[in-house]
Structure 1
Amino acid sequence: MQVEQAVSLGEASEQLGESAQADHVELAVIGLGYVGLPLAREASSVGLRVVGLDRDADVVAALNSGRSHVGDVPDEDVRRMREAGFTAYTDDACLARAQTVVICVPTPLSGDGGPDLSAVTSAATSVAGRLRPGQLVVLESTTYPGTTEEVVRPLLEESGLRAGEDFALAFSPERIDPGNTTHSLREVPKVVGGCTPSCAVRAVAFYGKFIDTVVQAKGTREAEMAKLLENTYRHVNIALVNELAIISRELHIDVWDAIRCAGTKPFGFQAFRPSAGVGGHCIPIDPNYLLYKVRSSLGYDFRFVELAQEINRRMPEYVVRRAQDLLNSAGRPLHGSRVLLLGVTYKPDVADQRESPAVPVARLLRERDAEVSFHDPYVPLWSVSGTDVPRVDDLMAAARDHDLTILLQDHSAYDLPALADQARLLFDTRGRIFHPDVERL
């Protein structure tokens, strides 16, 4: 059966290759955000003809004019993509011309905290309407195990074509790390799981054109689980050190020094560090997809994930409580104090604010009637709960002027020793400043 499928799919692929010569489009990427655009860039850089599909007309117009909206993809790279033949579209007719279609759309949480697959189902429906024999379809959007087989496959097969026989279907988790200049997309191993062995062979061959190492999973569910495992591992370990930071302070232990010492062990330990909370799309979101799958399929809770969520979600409140204690020790109430927040993005040296813990920190400070301002070299405007937060321009003057400065994100542009000297009170939630007058998380 598998051999017959492989032969059938191979013949279909050859037919598509012959019919696509005129258009010569090897890849269509659906969703041109922080995952899809770098993928399109990498494929384009090795000579593949790439098109992109996005529902945002402004994004499409900007890309076709050579302007990027993704921090890790400069305008110059988009212009090179355009010169190599890349074009962005809002019309899904472009999908019919591609030998491979990769879905890179967002998978946020719904209002009740469960998975929101509306973008995935919309993309799959668009692909189904344009699906041709021999095409390869890959889902890269992070989701719960079973989505490729149980959600995407039925939608695609409404076309009358069958996965593994008429077209290939696979899942390959994205591993984009915004702001990471050490590991390029090409250098990060690509995990691929196919619906059938022949589907996996097609997907491995495709990614092998522009990724150095391709790792084949047993199937789509294993590939889907691999992504959730990666981020749940981080989520749980961040929660561990966050709670350890709270406990260590009560025990009069310098948790940062303990982590430094433990990190000298050359095996069996990976250092994670406390913070005001977790942000970005992955860590606060992805474990919920795994939690949903466990609950819906098995009928019980994934207790490790729930506990990690509880600990990490309470960190902004803990930071505000520590800030209040710090002000009280200086003879000032939090009520009416001027508090400066430094770094409101979710990680250093990026402009990405998704799920940043700075938002709940600012909201909680305002609820306690503090006057909140912010500074971030990557964020010109910032609002919390629909209200703009004043931005300071002269950082050192503002640190001298505010009653309390809280370092939430340690951007490399910050002169931390100078801040320690200038600020009236400085609360370092990143453990980066070693100064006797600086309070650390």
Structure 2
Amino acid sequence: MGRHRTSREDLRERIRRRRLTVGVLGMGYVGLPLALEYARAGIRTFGFDIKPEKISQLQQGQSYIRDVPTAALAEQVQTGRLIPTGDFRHCADCDVLFICVPTPFTAHKDPDISFILQATESIAATLRPGQLIVLKSTTFPGTTEEYVLPLLQRTGLQVGEDFFLAFSPERVDPGNRVWTTANTPVVVGGVTERCTELAVAALELVVQKVVPVRNPRVAEMAKLLENIFRSVNIALVNEMAQLCDRLGVNIWEVIEAASTKPFGFMPFYPGPGIGGHCILIDPYYLAWVARRYDFVTNFVTLAAEVNESMPFYVRGLIEREIARLPVSLERARVLFLGVAFKRDVDDLRHSPALKIMELLWHDGVRQLAYYDPYIRSVEFLGRRLESMPELTPTLLRQQHIVVITTDHSGVDYEMVCRWSRVVIDTRNACRHVRRSRARVVLLGSGR
């Protein structure tokens, strides 16, 4: 009993005195900002990743994530507080370990938690008494206790006594300058009360508000609810936008009017499709785990299907406008403005713009180009496609169709509308444009 008590109390004291070492597995959009926060708090922090090119960049103090300033990163690397490494044996040196790895889905839209399992195996290889492991990757309820815990307990160490395990979902919003890793509240649920207590203490070193919940399943389900809430509401307005196109009603005016109600309504907006990591994937994670309990998430899955249908709908809008011009599909020149999945970020994950481009290519549209000030090149059907270096009147005049798929704030939409033949606006980016409105085909406007 004394050894067990010492492991917990020793870790709690290390956290209290800030004399601990932290490890973050996965140097992506979640892991790198988290590692930087701990390093800036004066805590020795290892940043682990399996990609040598990432580690090399980080060791040189260079950030590859827009939300992580290179100057801030370089300072922590140079002082030795942030230690990027691909050597997972250093997990043994860490008192607290965060797992922040991707959780994609398979071709059949089943969960792929292989990165979580791989990270857990790396930790288990050097697991010792007195370590706290916190899973932050978005996943389905039961992952922490049914998949991560057994791998760690194979070592013979016991959770809640020798080592400690919790789940605290990430809440990263790429490009958001207001809500950051430090000031965005997080929830955390431990496998035992001791696990929760220690995880709360460790997170409070860098996060302003930490909310404990009963267990990991509550935290896992809360994360899915947060994202599926958005998925369902976006699907609603996407379907309404398609209906408004038939009714001859402008969905954007409808949403603006409904937003005047001071209670019981929250505005969501249509678009060319869902991108990013969470909102597109999470409905399928929930649907998969629901099937294990003989439950079908009809409503949630239908919303996901509506959102995934939007690139096909936009493809139809584009081809309709091409058909109205004296040009064939094969000769039509189509320029996409923005390929990032959302405004003012350099994140391509599940970009709806790329999906639309693929659909057009398969339909015979071969002269495709894009301009995105944040993304220099993309892999497109096995080809490398470079962004146009500059958005100019000459470039716009050369196109048959210009499609706004991402409403980056730095784009001059007055110029876009003035010099383009046809503008298909899927984001209402041209709402403030006063001239040349006749050239704009707005998604959901009833035109």
Counterpart amino acid of residue 201 in structure 1: E
Aligned to 1:75: 70
Over residues 106-165 of structure 1, what are the superposed CA-to-partner deviations in whole Å (9 max), with x where a residue is unaligned?
111123221111111111111112111121110001110011000001100111111111
Aligned to 1:293: 289
Aligned to 1:110: 106
Q: Matches of 2:51 and 2:386 in 1, distance apart?
A: 30
1:254 to 250, 254, 259: 250
Q: CA deviation at 1:303?
A: 0.6
Q: Matches of 2:27 and 2:233 in 1, distance apart?
A: 31
1:439 to 425, 438, 441: 441
Cα pair 1:179 1:350 within 8 Å, conserved: yes
Q: How does 1:250-329 map to 2 (within 5 A)?
A: 250-296=246-292, 298-329=293-324
Q: Matches of 2:47 and 2:401 in 1, distance apart?
A: 47
Q: Matches of 2:355 and 2:126 in 1, distance apart?
A: 44
Cα pair 1:25 1:97 within 8 Å, conserved: no
Q: Matches of 1:58 and 1:324 in 2, distance apart?
A: 40
Q: CA RMSD in A?
A: 2.0
Cα pair 1:17 1:99 within 8 Å, conserved: no
Over residues 186-216 of structure 1, what are the superposed CA-to-partner deviations in whole Å (9 max), with x where a residue is unaligned?
1100110010111101111111111111011
Cα pair 2:136 2:167 within 8 Å, conserved: yes
Report whether the alignment pairs 1:210 with 2:206. Answer: yes
2:52 to 57, 65, 80: 57
Cα pair 1:16 1:133 within 8 Å, conserved: no
Counterpart amino acid of residue 215 in structure 1: V
Aligned to 1:399: 396
Q: Matches of 2:265 and 2:12 in 1, distance apart?
A: 49
Distance 1:141 1:399, change over 3 A: same
Report whether the alignment pairs 1:150 with 2:146. Answer: yes
Counterpart amino acid of residue 214 in structure 2: K
Aligned to 2:40: 45
Q: Matches of 1:99 and 1:144 in 2, distance apart?
A: 26
Q: Matches of 2:131 and 2:227 in 1, distance apart?
A: 31
Cα pair 1:236 1:305 within 8 Å, conserved: yes
TM-score (norm 1): 0.94
Counterpart amino acid of residue 403 in structure 1: H
Provide the aligned length of Structure 1 versus Structure 2: 434
Counterpart amino acid of residue 158 in structure 2: R
SS at match of 1:253: coil
Report whether the alignment pairs 1:86 with 2:82. Answer: yes
Larger CA deviation: 247-256 vs 298-307: 298-307
Q: CA deviation at 1:25?
A: 4.3
Aligned to 1:419: 416
Aligned to 2:169: 173
Distance 1:18 1:231, change over 3 A: closer
Over residues 1-48 of structure 1, what are the superposed CA-to-partner deviations in whole Å (9 max), with x where a residue is unaligned?
xxx8xx87542134468999xx95421111111111100111111111
> Gapped runs of 5+ residues in structure 2?
432-436
Larger CA deviation: 350-359 vs 58-67: 58-67
Aligned to 1:140: 136
Cα pair 1:192 1:223 within 8 Å, conserved: yes
> Gapped runs of 5+ residues in structure 1?
none
Distance 1:279 1:260, change over 3 A: same
Q: Matches of 1:18 and 1:300 in 2, distance apart?
A: 45
Q: CA deviation at 1:264?
A: 2.1
Counterpart amino acid of residue 87 in structure 1: I
Q: CA deviation at 1:275?
A: 0.6
